[in-house]
């Protein structure tokens, strides 16, 4: 008799858990953001995001790369990282130093430069240089075309060739009139006081280009910068920082997404992540649950055609790639 009673109680507990789990998945969760220009409608193809401006097609993070990406290739989003110069300008660059993308070390080969930069003291950091100093260098110096030729190595006028380091204000000015619907993904790389200053300068620059304010998502790896963006610039859309993204993904996989209280607009993730075991993130259920919160799901950095096809078929919102020409070719298969 006691055995049957115990089984009955166990059954009731299981039923309650099932009811609770089912209920929280039926209740529509609150939207993270109300208006999200990075979300694509059901059935639409994902947005094309040029990672570093499309670094496989043109010299990364240069005005040449950004112009070609927008006007020739026809991308939807420009993606890059922001650093603050010594004299207070925001420039686009992937690393905190410039040695591996320009001729700051003269005519050394890239292998020689990489060996040189193994010692941090040898690096030329953006934080230690003025914009005028940075603008004298050719940021297409090490770029190789498909044939492996360094086609911009001998450029003597980087400004005329669009091979100077690019600044936020110049990039906005370049496209504001002709491409008001352009989207931007940026990451503030500086931390602490320099990161706070970067946030302020970005915000002030956007005052001159108000349409772009609502068409940009800002990310950071630094908790204090995330908090600064939240508190002082709440109207800027934000990407999920690493910890927040991990929490969101976990709640979605467990089916308890109602309890996630994130307020970010974009979930920017790889297809898989190694946490001791390889965790696959290219899941349609993850995308659907993110969409319930009006969160866009953007995958990086995808340079393989088959991986692009998989993400297209899953219904993701954007694919970040170094090779937007390839992605545009793959998308044509689905049009």
Q: Which CATH number fits domain 31-96+166-332: 3.30.450.20, 3.20.20.190, 3.50.50.60, 1.10.3470.10?
A: 3.20.20.190
pTM of the model: 0.90
| Torsion sign across C-alpha atoms 54, 56, 61, 62 | negative
pLDDT at 24: 46
**Rounded to whole angstroms, how far apart are CA atoms 282 and 292?**
17
Strand partners, 279: 273
In whole angstroms, give the CA distance from residue 187 to residue 238: 10
The string of pLDDT tens digits covering residues 108-139 is 999 999 999 999 999 999 999 999 999 999 99
**pLDDT score recorded for residue 250:** 77
- Residue 241's pLDDT is 82
Report pLDDT digits (tens) over 187-222: 999 999 999 999 999 999 999 999 999 999 999 999
What does the buried/exposed string (b/e) look like for 266-295 if buried means 16 or more CB atoms within 10 Å of the residue's CB?
bbbbebeeeeeeeeebbbeebbebbbbbbb
Q: Spell out the residues 6+ positions from residue 141 whose beta carbon is closer than 8 angstroms to its own.
A: 101, 102, 103, 150, 152, 153, 155
Per-domain boundaries in the chain: 31-96+166-332
- Give Cα 275 to chain centroid, integer Å: 21
Which residues have CB under 8 Å from 280's CB, separation 6+? 271, 272
Q: Which residue has the tokens 């996989």?
A: 253
Give tens-digit pLDDT for 40-80.
998 899 999 999 999 999 999 999 999 999 999 999 999 99
Q: Which pLDDT does position 266 carry in this prediction?
A: 96
């Amino acid at each position: 008799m006691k055995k049957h009673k115990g089984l009955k109680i166990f059954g009731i507990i299981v039923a309650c858990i099932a009811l609770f789990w089912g209920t929280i998945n039926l209740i529509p969760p609150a939207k993270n953001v109300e208006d999200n220009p990075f979300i694509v409608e059901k059935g639409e193809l994902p947005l094309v995001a040029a990672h570093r401006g499309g670094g496989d097609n043109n010299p990364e993070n240069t005005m040449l790369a950004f112009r070609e990406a927008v006007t020739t290739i026809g991308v939807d989003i420009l993606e890059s990282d922001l650093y603050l110069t010594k004299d207070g300008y925001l420039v686009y660059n992937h690393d905190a130093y410039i040695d591996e993308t320009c001729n700051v070390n003269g005519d050394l080969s890239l292998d020689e430069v990489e060996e040189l930069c193994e010692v941090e003291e040898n690096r030329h950091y953006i934080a230690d240089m003025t914009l005028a100093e940075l603008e004298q260098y050719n940021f297409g110096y090490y770029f190789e075309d498909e044939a492996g030729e360094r086609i911009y190595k001998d450029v003597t006028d980087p400004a005329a060739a669009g091979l100077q380091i690019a600044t936020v204000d110049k990039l906005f000015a370049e496209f504001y009139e002709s491409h008001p619907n352009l989207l931007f993904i940026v990451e503030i790389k500086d931390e602490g006081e320099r990161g706070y200053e970067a946030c302020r300068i970005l915000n002030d620059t956007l005052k001159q280009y108000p349409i772009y304010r609502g068409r940009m998502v800002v990310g950071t790896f630094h908790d204090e910068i995330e908090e600064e963006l939240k508190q002082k610039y709440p109207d800027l859309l934000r990407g999920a920082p690493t910890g927040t993204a991990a929490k969101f993904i976990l709640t979605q996989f467990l089916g308890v997404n109602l309890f996630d209280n994130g307020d970010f607009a974009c979930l920017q993730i790889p297809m898989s992540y190694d946490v001791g075991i390889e965790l696959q993130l290219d899941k349609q259920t993850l995308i659907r649950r993110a969409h319930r919160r009006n969160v866009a799901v953007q995958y990086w950095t995808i340079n393989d055609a088959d991986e692009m096809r998989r993400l297209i078929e899953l219904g993701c919102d954007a694919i970040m790639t170094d090779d937007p020409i390839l992605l545009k070719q793959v998308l044509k298969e689905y049009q």
